Amino acid sequence: MKLLEERILKDGKMRDGGILKVDTFLNHQMDIKFLNEIGKEFKRLFSDQQITKILTIEASGIAIASIASQYFDYVPVVFAKKTKSKNLDGELLTSQVRSYTKGIVTDIQVEKKFLKPEDKILIIDDFLARGQALMGLIDIVNQAGATVVGCGIVIEKGFQDGGKMLRDKGIRVESLAIVDSIGEGSISFIEQ
């Protein structure tokens, strides 16, 4: 997605060690008009699919998934929670996710009632690097007996192994930008 690559070049912060910060428009401060363009693009890519629900994970996936839903006939959006609160008191589907950014393993959970065997789920998230969050979400969809139609990712770090691992498992992954390499102040993308 040209518009996204241009925005990353303009507003992203690139650092040695494969670090890309897009917090001015994607995952801390959010440009909602731009997220609408992202939502439209996900719809274009998955227009051949019938989707009944969008699944994401807190926190940075929520805005992207919610705006995208508007282009998928307003299907419900469910987000997996990373903390257990008193409000989660139904039967839970849980999985474990290792975050390399935060250096911890987190239990993620979704109330079972929100995912039905007949559901066709589009998983949406901001980043795909090692694929741990997506694997956790796919695990939860599988536990529910529902179908993963595919994963819609805003930015994939093509130099990490998550995308290959998921595609090797037969999961459809559509990433709007795939980063080839990141250096201090520089970034290159894989032509799609």
Binding site for a second copy (CB under 8 A): 19, 21, 23-24, 27-33, 35-36, 58-59, 62-63, 65-67, 69-70, 74-79, 81, 83, 85-89, 101-103, 110-111, 114
Q: Which residues on adjacent β-strands are paired with residue 66?
A: none
- 50-to-47, 147, 148, 149 alpha-carbon distances in Å: 8, 11, 11, 8
The residue among 42 and 170 lying less far from a second copy, judged by its C-beta, is 42
Compute the least distance from the CB of residue 169 to a second copy, in Å.
Answer: 27
If the CB atoms of residues 84 and 169 are measured against a second copy, the closer one turns out to be: 84
CA 163 to chain centre: 12
Q: How far is the CB of 56 from a second copy (least distance, A)?
A: 10
- Measured CA to CA, the distance from residue 7 to residue 5 in angstroms comes to 5
Closest separation in Å from C-beta 4 to a second copy: 17
Contact present, 26 and 126 (Cβ < 8 Å): yes
CB of residue 27 vs a second copy: minimum separation in angstroms?
8
Q: Residue 167 in contact with residue 138, Cβ under 8 Å?
A: no
Whichever of 84 and 168 has its CB closer to a second copy, that residue is 84
